[in-house]
Copies of this chain bind each other. A is one copy, B any other.
């Protein structure tokens, strides 16, 4: 099952069920994604039972599948990315035997085709291609072994970042506020069964194709997460309940062979350049730049659709 949210002029939009070919939809029997998530065990079968998709889908009319969330917890669980980023930021943080995770702004997830306003071109504007999940309500203290049961949907995320602010904020120990403006989401949120065998061990085994201004940038594979999304849910829920509709991210998708497969963010490419040549050659984004992200199954299908966002002056 694939779900999306239509822009109907309200802040939460209108939940729709998308046809297998991605070109048509049916209005859902539940008004919003948040409402569906709050009653997921009841709502999901109703949504999944829909087989008639009478309306034509206009991708430009879509909001993020969940346009705002009560909580956004972003991990960083691709080891090849973490090690490089520490070098780029000039930090040597301690690595606990637990997933890295911060809480980010969640009152806005930009639409798949949004123009994204940025405060200042000089701040090192960067994209970050990620996978994410959206939870049902998770009780405090849920174990990793049980956490997978609370994963309602899988999403594809663009975690916009301002790199010039990231290092200084990280060094305070308080995490990121200014370095992390709102993220974007790809058009469709999918249930795990939609990925079939490519959702395994609570990890998405898909390539994430990333293009920057039309040029190929990366196609890293989603599977080599050091911690699965079940671990991330359990980590987030250790001392708090997770409200229904909590979004949890993987951090930038990255593979050990990034010199071959490329990267899912500019900072990682710059990190490789620093390691290889002593200095970065690639600059960050400027106003008017666009990024395109599309996770693909081996047969070429793109379960989350295409995210294509453009940076504009605020």
Which of chain A's residues 167-203 have a Cβ closer than 8 Å to chain B? 168, 170-179, 181-182
Question: Residues of B contacting A141 with CB < 8 Å?
Answer: 119, 314
Q: Is the CB of B239 within 8 A of A118?
A: yes
Q: Given the known A-B contacts A70-B68, A140-B119, are A175 and B174 also in contact in the complex, defined by CB atoms under 8 Å?
A: yes
Contact A177:B101 (CB < 8 A) given known A119-B238, A171-B94, A240-B182: yes
Q: Quick check: A235 and B314 within 8 Å, CB to CB?
A: no
Residues of B within 8 A of A106 (CB): 70-71
Within 8 A of B (CB), among A29-54: none
Indicate if the CB atoms of B177 and A73 lie closer than 8 Å.
yes
Tell yes or no: A96 within 8 A of B by CB: yes
Q: CB within 8 A of A173: which of B123, B170, B181, B241?
A: B170
On chain B, the residues within 8 Å of A91 by CB distance are: 173
The interface residues of chain B lying within 8 Å CB-to-CB of A100 are 172, 174
Instruction: Tally A residues with Cβ within 8 Å of B.
Output: 49
A140 to chain B, nearest CB (A): 6
User: Is A240 touching B181 in the complex (CB atoms < 8 A)?
Assistant: yes
Assembled-state Cα–Cα distance A103/B120 (Å):
22
Q: Which residues of chain B have C-beta atoms less than 8 A from A314's C-beta? A: 140-141
Q: Is A117 an interface residue (CB 8 A)?
A: yes
A101: nearest chain-B partner, CB-CB = B177
Cα A76 to Cα B80 in complex, Å, equals 33
Residue of B nearest to A89 (CB): B173
Establish whether residues A239 and B181, one from each chain, have CB atoms under 8 Å apart when the complex forms: yes
In A204-259, the 8 Å CB interface with B consists of 235-236, 238-241, 243
| A 54-72 binary contact with B (CB < 8 Å = 1; else 0) | 0000000000000010110
Some 11 contacts from A to B, beta carbons below 8 A apart, are A71-B107, A73-B177, A100-B172, A108-B240, A118-B239, A119-B238, A119-B239, A165-B239, A178-B240, A179-B239, A182-B240
Q: Tell me the A residues contacting B by CB distance below 8 Å.
A: 68, 70-71, 73, 76, 91, 93-96, 100-108, 117-120, 123, 140-141, 162, 165, 168, 170-179, 181-182, 235-236, 238-241, 243, 314
